[in-house]
Each structure stands twice: as C-alpha cells, then as structure tokens.
Structure 1
Amino acid sequence: MTRAFTFPGQGSQAVGMGRELAEAFASAREVFGEVDDALGQNLSKLMWEGPQEDLTLTENAQPAIMAVSLAVIRTLEKEGSFVLSDKAAFVAGHSLGEYSALAAAGSFTIADTARLLKRRGQAMQRAVPVGEGAMAALLGLEFDQAAEVASEAAQGEVCAAANDNGGGQVVVSGARKAVERAIEIAKTKGAKRSMLLPVSAPFHCSLMQPAADEMAEALGGVDLKSPSVPLVANVTASRVADPATIRDLLVKQVTGMVRWRESVLYMEAEGVSSFVEVGAGKALSGMVKRIAKEPEILSVGTPGDVEAFLKTI
C-alpha cells in the first residue's frame, strides 16, 4: 500500500489541542518544549488552556497546528521506530501545513519552522488592515464556476480563488466588498451555500504580496535541506525535492492558490491509495474522501490514534 502523509492548515486549532499527546508521551512534550523555547512564548499553555480568541490569532494558530503535527511524528518515531521515508511516497500540507510537512521530512528544524510560521502569521496579518479583506467559502460550485464568480465579483478590486478544496468547496479571497459580491453572485449560479469565513486577513491572493516579500527574506536566512520524502506543493500540485525550488514555492504560496484537489489527484495518479492526516482535526481527511476514489483514510492526532496506527505499519 502506497501512503501519503498530509498536514492540516489553519482552522484546525482548538483549545486543548495536543494536551493528551503531551500527557501520554515524553517525545510529544519535547516537541512542545522546543516550540515554546524557539518562540520565547508559552504557546503550549495557550494551546491547552486558551483563550480560544488568542489561539485563533494567525501568529499563534500557525505554529500551534504545526507543533501538534510534529509531536505526532516525533512520537511515532520514538514509540514505534517509525521512519517517514520508509512509509511515505509523498508529504503534502494545506497552506501552513506545507511547513509541517517539510519539517516532518527533515527540510527544516522544528525550531526554525516555529519561527518561520510565527513570522508568516504576523506578516499575513500586517499585509492588509483588519476589516479590509475577507474570505468566503462557496459550496456546491465546481472550481471553474467559482473562479468565474470571483472574476465577475472583482469589478476592479481583488477577488480570486484561494483554496480549491475539492468536492464543490472553493474558497475565494480578496477585498471585503468584492468577496461579499461573490457571495451574492454565487447564489445566482447555483451554490448550495456561501458564507464569509472567520479569518482576520485575505490569505492566498495578491493582497498578500507584502507578506510574500517578508517571507522571501525570512526563508533566505534559514537552512533548508532536501526533504527525505518528496513534497507535493500547493502552488504546482506536483512533486518537488530541490531546496531552492521549495524555497521559491513557499514564497509564491503566500499569494498563490492552494491547489489541494489537484494535489490529491496527483498523488492518487502516482499510486497513493492511503492518506494519513497527521495532527489536529480531520479536515483534510474529509477533503480527500470527496476527491479520491475509495481511498484509505487515517487520522493520527491522539494517543489512541498513535497506538492504532503503529499496529498498521
């Protein structure tokens, strides 16, 4: 069986995330400690105790979601002699999850990944003043239809498809008024439901260019090794292993669309039949189920999940 390991993005955060892992495994506690030390912040306390509104802040949610994913990977390695490169054909992550995937595959250290994601979150928040941008989910429209809706709604402002999540779920991003127009237009095009998302900035559109420029600088100062497992990149929906190319794609990813549907189809075409979501929540598992044909889907985020998964390998 050919497996791909996937890593979730923003929206998967919840108060209490990772606490059971830390209580059950010293290896997980080590990871949370490394992240806290790298950031000079007691992020693990915020993850476990809240408040939710602080955890949801982009600069906190991004490193927190990564920390849980890497705590799972470290625990699999320590508890079951798990070696990612022996078990995975590909790694892939949704938006910030791409950093988690690369850290899992040894491209970044956990400390560098935490600092990069903290800065990424801050840069994305700074790029557009609060209230001026928005994102909306258009449900029940295929990608081409949603892209047409975004184009029609733009009217000289920015409005573009940001996440192609598959199964008739496309997220658009841009100037708030343009995104609000997209919601209304989508209703006339047959969308089952369209709604604004509770995010603080319009991710994955051209309004994020200042954040992309900042991440180019940040990534330029960090050691980036070739991953032990090829990455299926958000921007290209195809494999990449060259460090210079990965660095370039991580910069482009800030303004570029997350091509998740195409990424899953690419991995399936390459022989992947089992998708393992690593970390908090099961959002990616739901997406994969809508995209791939009869995939095996596993989620590994709790001590029980870890123990069950180790019995399968």
Structure 2
Amino acid sequence: MTTAFIFPGQGSQAVGMGRALADAHPAAARVFAEVDDALGQPLSRLMFDGPEAELTLTSNAQPALMAVSLAALRVLEAEAGLDLRSGASYLAGHSLGEYSALAAAGTFSVAEAARLLRLRGDAMQAAVPVGQGAMAALIGVEPEAAAAIAADAAAGEVCDVANDNGGGQVVLSGSAAAVDRAVAIAKARGVKRAVLLAVSAPFHCALMRPAADAMAEALDAAEVADSALPVVANVLARPVDTAGEIVGCLVGQVCGTVRWRESIAWMAGAGVTRFVEVGSGKVLSGLVKRIAPAAATLNVGTPDDVARFIEAAASGA
C-alpha cells in the first residue's frame, strides 16, 4: 500500500482539539509546549478551552492547526513506530496545512513553522480592510465553469478561484462586490449552491499581495531546508523538495489557487492508495473520497485514532 500523509487547513479548528492527545501522550504535550514557547503565548490553553471566537482568529487558528497536526504525527512516531521516510511516499497540506507538511518533512522546525504561520495569519488579515473582501463557495460546479463565473463577475475588481477542492466544490475570493456578483451569476447559471462564507479576509486572491510580500521577506530570513520527502505544493499540484522551490511555492500560495483536486489526483495517479489525514477534523478525507474514491482514508487526531492506526498497521491495512 502506497501512502500519502495530508494535513488540514483553516476551518478544521475546534475548541478542545489536541487536549486528549496532550493528556494521553507526552510526545504531543511537548509539541504544544514548543509552540507556546515559540509564540510567547499559551496557545494550547486557547486550543483546549477556547473561547472559540479567539481560536478562530486567523493568527491563532493557523499555528494551532499546525500544532495539532505535528503533535499527532509525533505520537505516531513514538507509539506506532512511524518513520515518514519509509512510511510515506508523499506529503501535502491544504493552504496553511502545507506548512504542517513541510515541518513534518524537516523543512521547518515546529517552532519556525509556528512563527511563520503567526506572521502569515497577521499579514493575511491586515492585507484587506474588514468588509472590503469576501469569499463564496460554489457547490456542484466544474472548475472551468467556476473560473468563468469569477471572470465575468470581476468587472474590473478582483474575483479569483481561491480553492479547487474537488467533488464539485470551488471557492471564489476577492472584492466584496465582485464576489456578490459571482454568487448571483452562479445561481443564474444553475449552480447547485452558491453561498458567501463567514471569513475574516479574502484569502488566496490577488488582494493578498501585501501578505505575499510579507511572507517573501519572512521566508527569506527563515531557516528553510530541503524536504526529506516530496511535498505536493498547492500552487503546482506536483511535488517539490528543494528549499528554493518550497519558498517560491509558499509565497505564490498566498495569492494563488489551492489546487487540492489536482494535488490528490496527481498522487492517486502516482500510485497512492491510502491517504492519512493528520490533525484536527476529517475535512480532507471527505474531499479525497470524492476525488479518488478507490483510495482508502484514515484520520489521526485523537488517541483513539492513534490506536486505530496502530491496529491497521499491524494488520497490514
């Protein structure tokens, strides 16, 4: 069985995430302590106890989700004997999850990834004044049709494809008025569902250019190593492993489309038959089932999930 490990992005956060892992496994608790120290903030307390509104803030949610993913991964290494170099063929992460994947591959330390994600969250939030941007999800639409809707809605403003998630789910992002027009156009063209999303900023569109510039500067100053495993980059939908390629993709990702459908399809085409989602929630596993229905999926975010992973490994599944 050929396995890829995948890491979730924003939207998978929930109050209480990681608590059971930290209580049951010292390896997880050490990751949370490392992130708290790196940020100079008890982020783990916010993750475990809330409040939800504060956890959902982009600058908190991004490093928090990475922390849960890496905590779960360290538990798999400690308890299941996982060695990614021999146990995984590819890694990938959705949006901020790409930083989790890169930390797992040794490109960043956990502390460096936490600091970069805090900066990324702050920069993305600051790039567009509140109320001037928006995002909308189109359900039951092909990517080409969604791109045409975005182009027709722009009318001189920004309306871009932010996420091609697969299974007929495409997210648009841009100027608030343009995204409103896109929703109306989508409904007029018979798209099954078109809804505005409750987000704090228009991620993954051209309006994020100031944030991309900030990340270029931060990544230039960061310690970035070649990855020990190929990481399928959001903006390319193919693997990269050198530090230079990785930095370029992370900068491009801020304004670029998260090509998740193509990324999963590429890995399935390269022989991946099992996708292990590491971290909070099961969003990516649901998307995988729509994109590559023949592939098996497994989630690891709780002690029970760890036990199931160990059982599956013992049975050869």
TM-score, normalisation: structure 2 = 0.98
More deviation in 187-196 or 117-126?
187-196
Matched, 1:125 2:128: no
How far the C-alpha of 1:119 sits from its partner, in A, is 0.2
How far the C-alpha of 1:105 sits from its partner, in A, is 1.0
Aligned to 1:240: 240
What is the identity, as a one-letter code, of the residue corresponding to 1:114? A
How far the C-alpha of 1:242 sits from its partner, in A, is 0.9
Q: Tell me how far apart the structure 1 counterparts of residues 74 and 94 of structure 2 sit (CA, whole Å).
A: 20
Q: Is the 8 A contact 1:204 1:254 kept in 2?
A: yes
Structure 1 residues 145-164: aligned runs within 5 Å: 145-164=145-164
Structure 1 unaligned segments of length 5 or more: list them: none
Structure 1 residues 1-313: aligned runs within 5 Å: 1-313=1-313
Give SS of 1:281's match: coil
How far the C-alpha of 1:222 sits from its partner, in A, is 1.1
What is the identity, as a one-letter code, of the residue corresponding to 1:2? T
Q: Tell me how far apart the structure 1 counterparts of residues 282 and 190 of structure 2 sit (CA, whole Å).
A: 28
Where does structure 1 differ by over 3 angstroms across 4 or more consecutive aligned residues? none
Q: Is the 8 A contact 1:162 1:205 kept in 2?
A: yes
Cα RMSD (Å) of the superposition?
Answer: 0.7
Q: Tell me how far apart the structure 2 counterparts of residues 30 and 186 of structure 1 sit (CA, whole Å).
A: 47
Q: Is the 8 A contact 1:141 1:190 kept in 2?
A: no
What is the identity, as a one-letter code, of the residue corresponding to 2:105? A
Give SS of 1:81's match: coil
1:167-192 CA distance string (max 9 Å, x none): 11000000001001101100011211
How far the C-alpha of 1:311 sits from its partner, in A, is 2.5
Give SS of 1:232's match: strand
Q: Tell me how far apart the structure 2 counterparts of residues 16 and 80 of structure 1 sit (CA, whole Å).
A: 24
Q: Tell me how far apart the structure 2 counterparts of residues 278 and 189 of structure 1 sit (CA, whole Å).
A: 37
Q: Tell me how far apart the structure 1 counterparts of residues 283 and 312 of structure 2 sit (CA, whole Å).
A: 22
How far the C-alpha of 1:13 sits from its partner, in A, is 0.5
Q: Tell me how far apart the structure 2 counterparts of residues 82 and 273 of structure 1 sit (CA, whole Å).
A: 18
1:131-156 CA distance string (max 9 Å, x none): 10010000011100111111111011
Q: Tell me how far apart the structure 2 counterparts of residues 142 and 168 of structure 1 sit (CA, whole Å).
A: 6
Q: Is the 8 A contact 1:140 1:190 kept in 2?
A: no
More deviation in 135-144 or 74-83?
74-83
Q: Tell me how far apart the structure 1 counterparts of residues 189 and 302 of structure 2 sit (CA, whole Å).
A: 41
Q: Tell me how far apart the structure 1 counterparts of residues 112 and 307 of structure 2 sit (CA, whole Å).
A: 28
Q: Tell me how far apart the structure 2 counterparts of residues 150 and 278 of structure 1 sit (CA, whole Å).
A: 32
More deviation in 167-176 or 285-294?
285-294
What is the identity, as a one-letter code, of the residue corresponding to 1:219? L
Q: Tell me how far apart the structure 1 counterparts of residues 286 and 80 of structure 2 sit (CA, whole Å).
A: 27
How far the C-alpha of 1:293 sits from its partner, in A, is 3.3
Q: Is the 8 A contact 1:153 1:181 kept in 2?
A: yes
Q: Tell me how far apart the structure 2 counterparts of residues 126 and 75 of structure 1 sit (CA, whole Å).
A: 35
Give SS of 1:36's match: helix
Q: Tell me how far apart the structure 1 counterparts of residues 113 and 102 of structure 2 sit (CA, whole Å).
A: 9
What is the identity, as a one-letter code, of the residue corresponding to 2:243? P
1:94-145 CA distance string (max 9 Å, x none): 0000000000111100000000000000000000001100100000111001
Q: Tell me how far apart the structure 2 counterparts of residues 81 and 166 of structure 1 sit (CA, whole Å).
A: 33
Q: Tell me how far apart the structure 2 counterparts of residues 167 and 308 of structure 1 sit (CA, whole Å).
A: 27
Give SS of 1:311's match: helix
Aligned length: 313
1:25-78 CA distance string (max 9 Å, x none): 011000000000000001001111111110000000000000000000111111
Q: Tell me how far apart the structure 1 counterparts of residues 37 and 293 of structure 2 sit (CA, whole Å).
A: 43
Q: Tell me how far apart the structure 2 counterparts of residues 291 and 251 of structure 1 sit (CA, whole Å).
A: 26
How far the C-alpha of 1:312 sits from its partner, in A, is 2.4
How far the C-alpha of 1:227 sits from its partner, in A, is 1.4
What is the identity, as a one-letter code, of the residue corresponding to 2:258? V
Q: Tell me how far apart the structure 2 counterparts of residues 166 and 260 of structure 1 sit (CA, whole Å).
A: 7
Q: Tell me how far apart the structure 2 counterparts of residues 30 and 146 of structure 1 sit (CA, whole Å).
A: 43
TM-score, normalisation: structure 1 = 0.99
